[in-house]
Chain A
Amino acid sequence: MKLPQGGKSELTFVGSLFLVGAIVAWDTYSVELPAFNLTISPRVFPYAIATLLMILSAILFINILRGDTAVPEGHAEGTPIEKSDYRAFSLVLASLLAFLLLIERAGFIVAASLTFFGITVAFGNKRHGRSAIFGTLFITLIYLAFTRFLNVQLPAGIFKGLL
Chain B
Amino acid sequence: MSNLQSLLDGFASALTLTNLGFGLLGTFLGTLVGVLPGIGPALAIALLLPITYTVSPASALIMFASIYYGAMYGGSTTSILLNTPGESGSVITALEGNKMARRGRAGAALATAAIGSFVAGTIATLVLAFTAPSIADLAIQVGAADYVALMLVAFTTVSSLLGSSQIRGFIALSIGLALGLVGADLQSGLSRLTFGSDAALEGIETVPVIVSIFALGEALYLASRFRDSGWAVIPMKGKALMSRDDWKRSWKPWIRGTFLGFPLGVVPAGGSEVPTFLSYSIEKKLSKHPEEFGNGAIEGVAGPEAANNANAAGALVPLLALGLPTSATAAVILVAFQTYQIQPGPTLFLTNGALIWTLIASLFIGNALLLILNLPLVRVWVQLLKIPRPYLFAGIVTFALMGAYALNTSIFDVQVAIAIGILGFLFRRFGMPITPLILGLILGPNLELQFRRALQISGGDYGTLVASPLSKVLYIVLFIALFTPVIARFMRKVRKDAHA
Docked CA distance A93–B422 (Å): 8
Docked CA distance A6–B426 (Å): 11
Docked CA distance A24–B447 (Å): 18
Q: Does chain B have a CB within 8 A of A31?
A: yes
Residues of A within 8 A of B459 (CB): 39
Q: Does chain A have a CB within 8 A of B494?
A: no
Q: Which of B389, B391, B448 contacts A45 (CB 8 A)?
A: B448
A17:B171 contact, CB within 8 angstroms: yes
Q: Does chain B have a CB within 8 A of A133?
A: no
Which B399-434 residues have C-beta < 8 A from chain A?
A: 399, 401-402, 405-406, 409, 411, 414-415, 418, 421-422, 425-426, 428-432
CB distance from A126 to the nearest CB of B (A): 9
CB distance from B211 to the nearest CB of A (A): 13
Q: Does chain A have a CB within 8 A of B397?
A: yes
A89:B431 contact, CB within 8 angstroms: no
B422:A88 contact, CB within 8 angstroms: no
Interface size on B, residues (CB 8 A): 71
CB distance from B498 to the nearest CB of A (A): 13
B224:A88 contact, CB within 8 angstroms: yes
Q: In this complex, what residue of B is CB-closest to A32? A: B190
Which A35-52 residues have C-beta < 8 A from chain B?
A: 38-40, 42, 45-46, 49-50, 52
B178:A20 contact, CB within 8 angstroms: yes
A92:B219 contact, CB within 8 angstroms: yes
Q: Does chain A have a CB within 8 A of B460?
A: yes
Q: Does chain B have a CB within 8 A of A106?
A: no
B398:A49 contact, CB within 8 angstroms: no
Q: Does chain A have a CB within 8 A of B238?
A: no
B192:A28 contact, CB within 8 angstroms: yes
B411:A103 contact, CB within 8 angstroms: yes
Docked CA distance A52–B444 (Å): 14
The verdict on A89 contacting B220 (CB below 8 Å), with A45-B448, A53-B178, A60-B168 known, is: yes
Q: Which of B168, B216, B224, B422 contacts A85 (CB 8 A)?
A: B224
A92:B220 contact, CB within 8 angstroms: yes
Which B89-131 residues have C-beta < 8 A from chain A?
A: none
Residues of A within 8 A of B228 (CB): 124
In the complex, 11 of the A-B residue pairs with CB atoms within 8 angstroms, ordered by the A residue number, are: A17-B175, A24-B181, A38-B452, A40-B451, A42-B192, A56-B171, A59-B167, A85-B227, A100-B414, A103-B401, A151-B54
Those 6 A-B pairs whose CB atoms lie nearest each other, nearest first: A70-B431, A123-B390, A125-B390, A119-B394, A120-B390, A89-B224
| Other A-B pairs, 19, CB within 8 Å; known A100-B414, A119-B390 | A24-B178, A34-B189, A42-B188, A45-B447, A50-B178, A57-B171, A59-B167, A73-B429, A85-B227, A92-B223, A96-B418, A108-B405, A115-B401, A119-B393, A120-B390, A123-B227, A124-B227, A146-B402, A154-B402
